[in-house]
Structure 1
């Protein structure tokens, strides 16, 4: 899994994951997150015949968090992906923590298997 994009503001207020398998869907996602940006974030160029995109929107977060994605198990029909969040070392307990709505976009090799996301340690 390769992180290709990340930002602290998605405009998406609830936790959400998605698997994007075509350019049209990726453009639609970017249209949503670029709604309040001028200029907007550039849409990555990908070859969807060779790779697909995993999107994780964390919803409202207080303070700085770090996200890691890892592949757990792979069966004949599905792939399990773990999502783990940890507090950043930069967080100081006495300071006011800002609110963010981060998103992460990863690319993986193309697969037609079902992708299941699993939260760990939330």
Structure 2
């Protein structure tokens, strides 16, 4: 698997409002604002919506669901053809001990931008 250099992290926070894992591609401002309205539902003031030029970029959103401790996703290309791009999502953990009871619980999300592609993109969870 090849780590993706063309992907840039725009925002990360520890509460997304999504209870389960979800990965999505957003390619317009309206959809991005709709996502942030859900993320900001319990925040006053809310997190700012990132400014993205959707004519040249698209957004990848990873909502990790319920997590114990500080887990960070890593995006990698697992397969690429002319019509299809498969991205592997793996987690790295900063947790040194395995005492799950003492680790904080979070529902983190990560917002990335990448150049626009017209390939069909899917996500595969690896080593979760």
Question: In which range does the TM-score fall when normalised by the shorter chain?
Answer: over 0.9
Q: Which whole-Å deviations, capped at 9, do the CAs of 1:78-106 have from their partners, x for residues lacking one?
A: 11111010221x44445711110000111
Instruction: Determine the structure 1 residue equivalent to 2:24.
Output: 18
Structure-2 separation of matches of 1:91 and 1:99:
16
Q: Which whole-Å deviations, capped at 9, do the CAs of 1:12-69 have from their partners, x for residues lacking one?
A: 1011111101000000000000000011000000110100001110101111112111
Instruction: Determine the structure 1 residue equivalent to 2:72.
Output: 66
Structure-1 separation of matches of 2:44 and 2:60:
25
TM-score (norm 1): 0.93
TM-score (norm 2): 0.89
Give the deviation of 1:72 after TM superposition. 2.3
Structure-2 separation of matches of 1:112 and 1:20:
12
Q: How does 1:109-120 map to 2 (within 5 A)?
A: 109-120=115-126
Give the deviation of 1:71 after TM superposition. 2.0
Gaps of at least 5 residues in structure 2 are 1-6
The total of aligned residue pairs comes to 121
Gaps of at least 5 residues in structure 1 are none
Matched, 1:36 2:42: yes
Moved segments of 4+, more than 2 Å: 90-95
